[in-house]
């Protein structure tokens, strides 16, 4: 009996001690949350300790009392009930304390994880997929290009460290490029062997014309990760969050997560939020990734896609957006865009709406890995309002191609996802869901807000919860969404030698949003309107996002003559273009049996050419057209000698003429019409060798009511005569020029002045 009593008392005392210790630990965790008011923390801790003390006294009294068990058939029911009840309360309180301490620890760890004190940079050295360079060791004596911003960690410093550690810097040639597209274009064209660039480079280029195959055309031969302590520019306090503030939310397109969980990658989605805790108003402005604005960290502040600001790091992105709207942005939050899936799934999905009138079959987009090749899954978002999972939400937010509104509608869809997340967070319930959300946030978020500042948001949250009883979140506080309005433009880049897509913002659009932002931040005084209109017949419906078109002149971006695609041109149209731009041409006829031949296409149909589409026409020395030939009885037209003749000033030009043959190879005696144009496109009578110039001689002959043309270039230079290049049309090949349109419709039907030199036919 004695042993049983001693064991029982010892157990009671242990439970009492655990109760006290668990309460002290919970109190300690609460005290560490600097974002909570000091008085509030003291009150909570006092309540916890008071309950612990009461529990301790009750269990201690029970332990010291003369407890009698069921002994020799006698049962003390009241005593048993008292013991069981006291033990139940003590154990329950211990469990509550342990759960609270565990939750606070989890929350504290999450807040500290996402409160950034260091930045991770992942740089890479990239080559073309078919390159013979397999490792860094193969880079000896090779040319490596880099974006001309040596302060860029991922695009220069980190990749450069790879070669520095191997003592190979002196064994390679480093070439700077002023534009990312020019850099990648040089790699594609073979002008350089490799490039320094961020390891997440594919997201920067995969929507750029000419680089959409970048995932399969390039490969990384080496990456390096550098973690650096950063100076947190957030010098604010907890109290600052009780006043209006601004936050930049950056959706980072991350495909190669760093080993320590830090976020890298390009800013694929940008949202500027201004929060007024006094008025309970929030403005969220969506900024398309291709918005054409001055980049803060570029030395000359030149305009570029805002997503390229990431080359200068997070600070460059924040400063660039701040400059757009004339404010200093207080805080930033980086969200792993791929990790958006985790957050949405943790919330149990979000609601989005696909316009059933515009897209009756819903929307289809690449999966989260952005695979769109045959055999890979596609993601379908049904028409109408539906609750979607994480992968569907991510695809919905990413989709741009195939949307009526392009980049603008994409931004509107992203705001819809953000609003859905906010709604689900405000209605969050269930312990497991909360833990899932904390897990998703911890892995996929970074911010320069301190843990104490993030904790202090409870005040704002409590007020919202009080105001939102029985209401939607948008009724509890005013959330307005804005889209940076603008227009699509293909702007020619001299550096890249190609047209690039940009989204040019309306000046008045930026001004309108800037006013809204400044009003919400209290930087300018809000003027109360002295009248308003209302009609019961037209109930107010809040727009999902406000987008305005402005009646202003769109900026003019002159485009020099570029090489068009020409697929679908007629032969005469292709020749007319070459002649207009003084470009010697030759024709590669595609006949039945050729792999390029397409049955059913008309004779003279242009399949393409050998030059880069949208490259500068003035830099093209010659062009070869691929043209359908499907007429058996035809004539052949060839140049005698070279297609390009180079002479010194003062030398005599001798016309070598052309040959005209029928389909059997017999010469036909016929005099061609000759048209001569100089390098300005002016028609001249003769070729003058008295000064530097470039002449194009176009020969036209008519046979069986059909016209055939061919041209050669004559270049007059000051220096010694350069050997003429190999003829673009070999005499043995004898390409056939087929008729395409009636003579009256030929571009060569203009009046032609025959030179005084008689052609030798």
SS3 string, 703-720, reads ECCEEEEEEEEEEEECCC
Q: With cut-offs at 50, 70 and 90, classify the pLDDT of residue 279.
A: confident
Residue 160 confidence (pLDDT): 94
Q: Is residue 373 part of a domain?
A: no
Q: How far is CA 131 from CA 212, 220, 390, 738, in A?
A: 19, 11, 38, 40
Statement: residue 598 has pLDDT above 70: yes
Q: Which residue has the higher pLDDT, 279 or 166?
A: 166
Q: Predicted confidence band at 324 (pLDDT cuts at 50, 70, 90)? A: very high
- Regarding whether 697 and 588 lie in a shared domain, the answer is yes
Residue 87 in any domain: the answer is yes
- Per the structure block, which two tokens stand in for 33? 């949350």
Residue 328 pLDDT class (50, 70, 90 cuts): very high
**Mean pLDDT rounded to a whole number for the chain:** 77
User: In 67-193, which ranges are E strands?
Assistant: 118-128, 143-147, 173-177
Q: Model confidence at 134, in pLDDT bands (50, 70, 90)?
A: very high
Q: Is the dihedral of CA 133, 134, 136, 140 positive or negative?
A: negative
H or E element: which one contains 31? Answer: helix 2-31
Give residue 738's pLDDT band: very low, low, confident or very high (50, 70, 90). Answer: very low
Whether residue 382 contacts residue 362, with contact meaning beta carbons closer than 8 Å, is answered with yes
Q: How confident is the model at residue 726 (pLDDT cuts 50, 70, 90)?
A: very low
> In the 3-class helix/strand/coil scheme, how is 420-479 assigned residue by residue?
HHHHHHHCCCCHHHHHHHHHHHHHHEEECCCHHHHHCCHHHHHHHHHHCCCCCHHHHCEE
My answer on whether 507 and 627 are in the same domain is no
Phi and psi, residue 94, nearest 5°: -60, -45
- Count, residues in the chain: 761
Q: Which residue has the higher pLDDT, 465 or 307?
A: 307
347 Cβ contact partners less than 8 Å away, ≥ 6 residues apart: 421, 424, 425, 428, 433, 437
Q: Is residue 614 located within the same domain as residue 684?
A: yes
Does 365 have pLDDT greater than 50? yes
Q: CA–CA separation, 562 vs 581, rounded Å? A: 10
Q: How confident is the model at residue 97 (pLDDT cuts 50, 70, 90)?
A: confident
- Model confidence at 122: pLDDT above 60: yes
Domain identity same for 194 and 247: no
Q: Same structural domain for residues 162 and 277?
A: no
| Burial environment of residue 541 by CB neighbours within 10 A (0 to 12, 13 to 18, 19 or more) | exposed
**CA 550 – CA 532 distance, rounded (Å):** 23
Q: Which residue has the tokens 């001689």?
A: 697
83 membership: H or E segment, kind and range:
helix 77-114
Residue 144, judged by CB atoms within 10 A of its CB (0-12, 13-18, 19+), counts as buried
- Rounded CA-CA distance 416/430 in Å is 24
Check: CB of residue 623 under 8 Å from CB of residue 583. yes
Task: Copy the structure tokens of residue 521.
Answer: 């931040």
Is residue 515 situated within a structural domain? yes
pLDDT single digits (tens) 98-121: 777 777 777 777 777 777 667 778
- Mean pLDDT score, 248-273: 66
Residue ranges making up the domain that contains 716 = 571-749
Alpha-carbon span 637 to 737, nearest angstrom? 6
Q: Which two tokens stand for residue 596?
A: 């390029």
Choose one of 229, 263, 292: the last residue of a domain. 229
**DSSP assignment of 182-199:** HHHHHHHHTSSSEEEEET
Distances (CA, A) of 42 to 282, 312, 452, 456: 32, 45, 16, 16
3-state secondary structure of 247: strand
Domain boundary pick from 112, 129, 160: 112
Average pLDDT over residues 390-419: 82
Check if the beta carbon of residue 652 is closer than 8 Å to that of residue 757. Answer: no
Domain count, the chain: 4
pLDDT value of residue 730: 37
As a whole number of angstroms, the distance between CA 182 and CA 498 comes to 9
**From CA 624, how far away is CA 586, in angstroms rounded?**
5
On whether residue 566 sits in a domain, the answer given is: no
Both tokens assigned to 653: 């030009």
Please provide the distance, in angstroms rounded to a whole number, between the alpha carbons at the two ends of the chain. 132
- How far, in Å, CA of 638 to CA of 440, rounded? 70
Based on the fold, state whether residues 196 and 271 are members of the same structural domain: no
Q: What is the CATH number of the domain that holds 256?
A: 3.40.630.190
Mean pLDDT of 80-87: 69
Whether 650 and 582 map to the same domain: the answer is: yes
Q: Is residue 720 included in any domain, yes or no?
A: yes
Q: Is 751's pLDDT higher than 80?
A: no
CB 612 within 8 A of CB 621: no
DSSP-assigned beta bridge partners for residue 693: 716
* DSSP of 388-416: E-HHHHHHHHH--TT-TTHHHHHHHHHHH
Handedness of CA 208, 213, 217, 218 (dihedral sign): positive
In a domain, 360, yes or no: no
The pLDDT of residue 261 is: 43
- Strands, E, within 148-280: which ranges? 173-177, 194-198, 218-229, 245-253, 266-276
User: Does residue 292 share a domain with residue 411?
Assistant: yes
Per-residue pLDDT, 189:
85
* Pair (222, 292) in one structural domain: no
pLDDT tens readout for residues 541-580: 555 555 556 778 888 888 888 899 999 898 988 999 999 9
Same domain, 407 and 280: yes
Give the residue with greater pLDDT, 65 vs 729. Answer: 65
The whole-number average pLDDT for the span 525-551 is 64
- In CATH, what number is assigned to the domain containing residue 720? 2.60.40.10
Mean pLDDT, rounded, for 245-267: 63
Q: What is the pLDDT of residues 204-242, one digit of tens each?
A: 776 676 787 888 899 999 999 888 766 655 555 556 567
Q: What is residue 743's DSSP assignment?
A: G
Quick one: tokens of 177?
């490029």
Least confident of 50-64, 372-386, 632-646: 632-646
pLDDT of residue 76: 57
Whole-prediction pTM: 0.65
Looking at 201, 229, 257, which one is the last position of a domain? 229
Closest to 201 measured CA to CA, from 139, 240, 255:
255
Among 17-26, 100-109, 131-140, 304-313, which range has the highest average pLDDT? 131-140
62 and 124 co-located in one domain: no
Strand, coil or helix: 647: strand
Angle, helices 77-114 vs 38-64, to 10°: value is 150
60-71 pLDDT per residue, tens: 676 666 554 444
Tokens at residue 312, please? 């200068």
Q: Is the dihedral of CA 414, 419, 420, 426 positive or negative?
A: positive
CA angle 235, 237, 238 (to 5 degrees): 150
Supply the pLDDT for residue 723: 47
Verify that 739 and 617 share a domain, yes or no. Answer: yes
Lowest mean pLDDT among 148-162, 227-241, 381-395, 487-501: 227-241
Taking the C-alpha atoms of residue 544 and residue 753, their distance in angstroms, rounded to an integer, is 66
Asked if residue 137 belongs to a domain, the reply is yes
In this predicted structure, what is the pLDDT of residue 294? Answer: 94
Three-class secondary structure of residue 74 per DSSP? strand
Specify whether the CB–CB gap between 514 and 326 falls below 8 A: yes
Asked if residue 384 lies in contact with residue 259, where contact means CB atoms within 8 angstroms, the answer is: no
Which run of H or E residues covers position 159?
A: helix 158-165
pLDDT at residue 522 greater than cutoff 70: yes
Structure tokens at 350: 């979000």
Mean pLDDT computed over 504-517 = 92
Question: How many C-beta neighbours within 10 Å does residue 333 have?
Answer: 19
User: Is the Cα torsion angle 675, 680, 686, 692 positive or negative in sign?
Assistant: negative
Quick check: 336 pLDDT over 90?
no
Contact 496, 185 (CB under 8 A): yes
Question: Does 393 fall in a domain?
Answer: no
Q: Determine the number of helices (DSSP H) and then strands (DSSP E) in the chain.
A: 17, 29
The pLDDT, as a whole number, for residue 79 is 62
């Amino acid at each position: 009996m004695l042993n049983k009593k001693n064991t029982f008392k010892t157990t009671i005392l242990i439970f009492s001690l655990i109760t006290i210790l668990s309460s002290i630990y919970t109190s300690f965790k609460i005290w560490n949350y600097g974002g909570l008011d000091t008085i509030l923390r003291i009150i909570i801790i006092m309540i916890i300790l008071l309950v612990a003390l009461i529990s301790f006294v009750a269990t201690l009294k029970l332990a010291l009392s003369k407890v009698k068990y069921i002994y020799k058939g006698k049962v003390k029911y009241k005593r048993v009930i008292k013991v069981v009840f006291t033990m139940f309360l003590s154990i329950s309180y211990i469990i509550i304390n342990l759960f609270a301490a565990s939750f606070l620890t989890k929350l504290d760890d999450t807040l500290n994880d996402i409160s950034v004190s260091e930045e991770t940079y992942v740089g890479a050295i990239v080559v073309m997929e078919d390159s013979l360079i397999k490792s860094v060791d193969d880079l000896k004596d090779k040319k490596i290009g880099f974006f001309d911003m040596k302060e860029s960690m991922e695009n220069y410093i980190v990749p450069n460290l790879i070669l520095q550690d191997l003592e190979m810097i002196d064994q390679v040639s480093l070439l700077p490029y002023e534009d990312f597209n020019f850099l990648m274009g040089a790699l594609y064209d073979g002008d350089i062997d490799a490039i320094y660039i961020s390891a997440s480079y594919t997201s920067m280029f995969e929507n750029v014309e000419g680089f959409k195959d970048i995932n399969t055309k390039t490969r990384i031969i080496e990456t390096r990760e550098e973690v650096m302590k950063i100076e947190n520019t957030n010098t604010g306090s907890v109290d600052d969050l009780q006043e209006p503030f601004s936050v930049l939310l950056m959706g980072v397109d991350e495909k190669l997560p760093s080993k320590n969980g830090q976020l890298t990658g390009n800013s694929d989605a940008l949202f500027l939020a201004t929060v007024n805790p006094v008025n309970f108003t929030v403005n969220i402005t969506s900024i398309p990734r291709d918005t054409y604005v001055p980049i803060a960290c570029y030395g000359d502040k030149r305009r570029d896609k805002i997503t390229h600001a990431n080359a200068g790091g997070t600070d460059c992105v924040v400063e660039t957006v701040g400059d757009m709207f004339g404010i200093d942005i207080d805080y930033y939050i980086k969200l792993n865009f791929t990790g958006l899936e985790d957050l949405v799934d943790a919330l149990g999905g979000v609601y989005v709406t696909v316009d059933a009138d515009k897209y009756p079959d819903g929307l289809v987009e690449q999966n989260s890995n952005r695979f769109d090749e045959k055999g890979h899954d596609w993601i379908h978002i049904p028409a109408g309002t539906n609750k979607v999972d994480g992968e569907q939400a991510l695809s919905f937010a990413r989709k741009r191609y195939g949307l009526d509104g392009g980049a603008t509608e994409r931004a509107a869809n992203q705001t819809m996802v953000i609003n859905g997340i906010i709604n689900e967070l405000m209605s969050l319930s269930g312990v497991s869901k909360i833990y899932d959300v904390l897990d998703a946030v911890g892995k996929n978020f970074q911010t320069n807000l301190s843990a104490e500042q993030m904790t202090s948001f409870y005040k704002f949250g409590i007020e919202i919860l009080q105001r939102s009883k029985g209401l939607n979140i948008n009724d509890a506080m005013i959330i307005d969404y804005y889209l940076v309005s603008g227009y699509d433009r293909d702007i020619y880049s001299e550096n890249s030698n190609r047209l690039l897509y940009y989204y040019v913002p309306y000046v008045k659009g930026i001004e309108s949003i800037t006013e809204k932002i400044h009003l919400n931040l209290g930087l300018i005084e809000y003027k109360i309107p002295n009248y308003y209109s209302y009609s019961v017949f037209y109930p107010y419906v809040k727009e999902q996002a406000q987008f305005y078109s402005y009646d202003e002149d769109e900026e003019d971006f002159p485009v020099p003559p570029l090489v068009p695609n020409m697929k679908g041109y007629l032969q005469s149209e292709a020749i007319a273009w070459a002649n207009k731009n003084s470009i010697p041409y030759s024709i590669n006829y595609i006949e039945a049996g050729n792999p390029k031949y397409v049955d059913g296409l008309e004779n003279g149909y242009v399949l393409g050419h050998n030059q880069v589409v949208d490259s500068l026409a003035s830099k093209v020395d010659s062009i070869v057209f691929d043209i359908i030939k499907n007429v058996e009885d035809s004539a052949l037209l060839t140049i005698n000698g070279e297609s390009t003749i180079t002479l010194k000033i003062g030398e005599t030009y001798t016309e070598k003429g052309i040959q005209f043959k029928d389909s059997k190879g017999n010469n036909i005696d016929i005099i061609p019409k000759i048209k001569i144009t100089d390098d300005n496109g002016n028609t001249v009578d003769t070729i003058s060798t008295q000064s530097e110039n470039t002449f194009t001689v176009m020969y036209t002959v008519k046979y069986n009511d059909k016209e055939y043309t061919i041209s050669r270039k004559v270049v007059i230079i000051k220096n010694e005569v350069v050997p003429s290049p190999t003829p673009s049309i070999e005499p043995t090949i004898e390409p056939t020029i087929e008729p395409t349109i009636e003579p009256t419709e030929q571009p060569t039907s203009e009046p032609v002045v025959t030179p005084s030199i008689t052609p030798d036919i």
